[in-house]
DNA sequence: GCCAATAAGTAACATGCCGCGACTAATGTC
DNA sequence: GACATTAGTCGCGGCATGTTACTTATTGGC
């Protein structure tokens, strides 16, 4: 254990699983430590400092841009952290696809991650489930996109998060009914095919808001 | 700061928000500390020990029964913990209604909690949201009930969690379609009215399992 | 120019789920 | 035996979703 680690004996790390949708796959930002080992970005928790704020600052430091959305995961003391820290608090964040990885780090597909310390490997493996858990009540999918996006882009992100193909007409009908997006007067030319209109995330009030019903459909797996 | 607290300087607590459905309200188990102050049960995190396991053991210790379901909340360093601990990891657990509070503790309605330390007050306030977050993908409602329950009991728990009245016929139709319960040959007499059949939670395989679709309905609030 | 290929966007029908009211069934009370 | 009370079911109408087919707009090849 290094001198740095012993200074922090008994303390906790804040670990960041930064996610981005790239080429139809979910990617995670992995940095290279001094020795060349692959690690997720982390920082030490400071007594009295807000953990979520620290995670946001870490995202800005490592990425040069703020995370568009962030959620805390389950703190864990299991398995080995790169630092040997006893306790780690994971934060899962998302950014748009235009954010490039700074030098010393790279986006890796969540299907083919490099060798991480076991605790960080578990955090990365749980990231998609964390996004799925919150995507119905938080604009996770929209935060994985730039401010202006096409409806096909949005559908692809939902397909990525759900792990399932969706039907275009149904998707757009449901989206329309939810009053979540407004069209802009910009159109994107993709090369071939008809240009696509760009939309913005702009949720509006809706009657019957929050009156959700029972959902048994996910219970029996 | 006491000697005990300074021994644990920089360490983390595991805090337990034990929930139970009583008389149509969600209740939380609150214990009385030596000085008479109201506190949620907590323990100190031990290096190398699994946090979830520690939370389960804490539940058994304080309640004399295992928590029927348990989930981790977001670790927090904000506000004041009764011990002055820098970091706390909340766990939200549920038990059935037959579990009585041991001496030195009591069930309090989440609407009328006694004065807790600010950090624990926040944990208790977040408990219902945590249950709501997981009730669609985990059998939270069923774990708030005894092993054998009536469908009216189950509906009341769902109404409690959703904060909304449900229609009997719709509720039962959806439940039937989900293959989640099986009838027993026991019936419960409530005093007046027709006796109710008792059911058990016994989820069975279902075709098209896990093929969930988009849900925009909770997004715009 | 004209046509095929490609992708965006729309229309219309079918199916299924859900809210709702009305009904039946079984028990205790007066 | 009438009534209140609670459990449980039936069926209709409306709304949401799945699906297929169609229209529109662009690029590229001949």
Tell me the ipTM for this assembly.
0.90
Asked whether the predicted pLDDT for residue A9 surpasses 70, the reply is no
Residue B17 carries which DSSP code?
E
Q: Which residues on A lie below 8 Å from B77 (Cβ)? A: 45, 47-51
Mean pLDDT throughout B165-176? 97
**Å from B139 (CA) to D15 (C1')?**
28
CA of B166 to nearest chain A CA: how many angstroms apart?
A: 8
Residue pair B39/B28 in contact (Cβ under 8 Å)? The answer is: no
Strand C proximal to A194 Cβ, under 7 A:
yes
Whether residue A203 lies within 8 A of chain B, CB to CB, comes out as yes
Asked whether the predicted pLDDT for residue B217 surpasses 70, the reply is yes
In CATH, the number for domain B145-201 is 1.10.10.10
- Say how far apart CA B43 and CA B60 lie, in whole Å: 12
Boundaries of CATH 1.10.10.10 in chain A?
147-221
* Amino acid B6: pLDDT: 46
- Say how far apart CA A29 and CA A59 lie, in whole Å: 10
- Say how far apart CA B198 and CA B156 lie, in whole Å: 15
**φ and ψ at residue B125, rounded to 5 degrees:** -65, -30
Asked whether the predicted pLDDT for residue A125 surpasses 80, the reply is yes
* Amino acid B162: pLDDT: 96
Task: List C-alpha distances in Å: B198 to A108, B94, B153, B177, B187.
Answer: 51, 21, 10, 18, 6
Q: Which residues numbered 135-164 in B keep a CB inside 8 Å of some CB on A?
A: 136-139, 158, 162, 164
Q: What is the largest CA-CA distance in chain B?
A: 61
- Say how far apart CA B161 and CA B141 lie, in whole Å: 8
pLDDT band with cut points at 50, 70 and 90 for residue A210: low
How many CB pairs below 8 A link A and B? Answer: 145
Residues recorded for chain A = 221
- Say how far apart CA B133 and CA B118 lie, in whole Å: 23
Q: Which CATH class is domain A147-221?
A: mainly alpha
Q: Do B203 and A217 touch (CB under 8 A)?
A: no
**Å from B131 (CA) to C17 (C1')?**
25
Q: What is the dihedral of CA A43, A45, A46, A50, to 10 degrees?
A: 110
pLDDT band with cut points at 50, 70 and 90 for residue A217: confident
Q: Which CATH class is domain A12-134?
A: alpha beta
* Amino acid A205: pLDDT: 78
pLDDT band with cut points at 50, 70 and 90 for residue B210: low
User: Per-residue pLDDT tens for B72-125?
Assistant: 999 999 999 999 999 999 999 999 999 999 999 999 999 999 999 999 999 999
Q: What share of chain B in percent tops pLDDT 70?
A: 93
Whether residue A221 lies within 8 A of chain B, CB to CB, comes out as yes
Closest chain B residue by Cα to residue A181: B220
Whether residue A220 lies within 8 A of chain B, CB to CB, comes out as yes
Residue pair B28/B127 in contact (Cβ under 8 Å)? The answer is: yes
Q: Supply B155's token pair.
A: 């509906």
Mean pLDDT throughout A132-138? 96
Residue B198 carries which DSSP code?
E
* Amino acid A207: pLDDT: 64
Whether residue B40 lies within 8 A of chain A, CB to CB, comes out as no
- Say how far apart CA B7 and CA B33 lie, in whole Å: 19
Asked whether the predicted pLDDT for residue A107 surpasses 50, the reply is yes
Q: Do B133 and A136 touch (CB under 8 A)?
A: no
Asked whether the predicted pLDDT for residue B3 surpasses 60, the reply is no
* CB-neighbour burial class of residue B126 (10 A; exposed 0-12, middle 13-18, buried 19+): middle
Q: Lowest-confidence range among A2-6, A49-53, A72-76, A163-167?
A: A2-6
CA of B134 to nearest chain A CA: how many angstroms apart?
A: 8
* Amino acid B9: pLDDT: 53
* Amino acid A206: pLDDT: 72
Whether residue A197 lies within 8 A of chain B, CB to CB, comes out as no
Mean pLDDT throughout B190-205? 92
Boundaries of CATH 1.10.10.10 in chain B?
145-201
User: Per-residue pLDDT tens for B122-151?
Assistant: 999 999 999 999 999 999 999 999 999 999
- Say how far apart CA A110 and CA B82 lie, in whole Å: 40
Residue pair A17/A123 in contact (Cβ under 8 Å)? The answer is: yes
Whether residue B191 lies within 8 A of chain A, CB to CB, comes out as no
For residue A28, give the nearest of A74, A95, A119 by alpha carbon. Answer: A95
- Say how far apart CA B221 and CA B218 lie, in whole Å: 5
- Say how far apart CA A95 and CA A143 lie, in whole Å: 6
The mean pLDDT of chain A is 92
Residues recorded for chain B = 221
Whether residue A208 lies within 8 A of chain B, CB to CB, comes out as no
Boundaries of CATH 3.90.79.10 in chain B?
3-134
**Å from A189 (CA) to C17 (C1')?**
39
**Candidates B12, B89, B178; nearest CB to A219:** B178
Asked whether the predicted pLDDT for residue A2 surpasses 60, the reply is no
**Candidates B77, B134, B216; nearest CB to A174:** B216
Residue pair A203/B219 in contact (Cβ under 8 Å)? The answer is: yes
Q: Do B220 and A171 touch (CB under 8 A)?
A: no
The mean pLDDT of chain B is 92
Buried b (16+ CB within 10 A) or exposed e, B26-57: bbbbbbeeeeeebbbbbbebeeebebbebbbe
Asked whether the predicted pLDDT for residue A39 surpasses 60, the reply is yes
Question: Cα–Cα–Cα angle for B68, B21, B176, nearest 5°?
Answer: 75
- Architecture in CATH of B3-134: Alpha-Beta Complex (3.90)
């Amino acid at each position: 254990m290094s001198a740095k680690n012993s200074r922090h004996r008994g303390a906790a790390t804040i670990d960041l699983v930064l996610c981005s949708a790239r080429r139809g796959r979910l990617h995670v930002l992995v940095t290279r430590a001094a020795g060349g080992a692959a690690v997720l970005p982390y920082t030490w928790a400071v007594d009295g400092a807000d953990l979520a704020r620290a995670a946001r600052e870490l995202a800005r430091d490592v990425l040069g841009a703020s995370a568009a959305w962030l959620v805390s995961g389950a703190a864990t003391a299991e398995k080995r952290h790169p630092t040997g820290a006893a306790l780690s608090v994971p934060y899962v964040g998302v950014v748009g696809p235009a954010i490039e990885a700074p030098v010393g780090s790279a986006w890796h597909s969540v299907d083919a991650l490099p060798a991480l310390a076991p605790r960080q490997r578990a955090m990365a493996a749980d990231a998609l489930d964390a996004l799925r858990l919150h995507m119905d009540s938080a604009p996770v999918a929209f935060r994985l996109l730039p401010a202006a996006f096409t409806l096909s882009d949005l559908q692809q992100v939902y397909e990525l998060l759900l792990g399932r193909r969706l039907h275009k007409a149904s998707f757009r009908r449901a989206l329309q009914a939810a009053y979540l997006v407004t069209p802009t007067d910009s159109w994107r030319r993709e090369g071939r095919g008809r240009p696509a209109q760009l939309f913005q995330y702009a949720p509006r009030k809706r009657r019957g808001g929050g009156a959700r019903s029972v959902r048994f459909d996910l219970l029996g797996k």
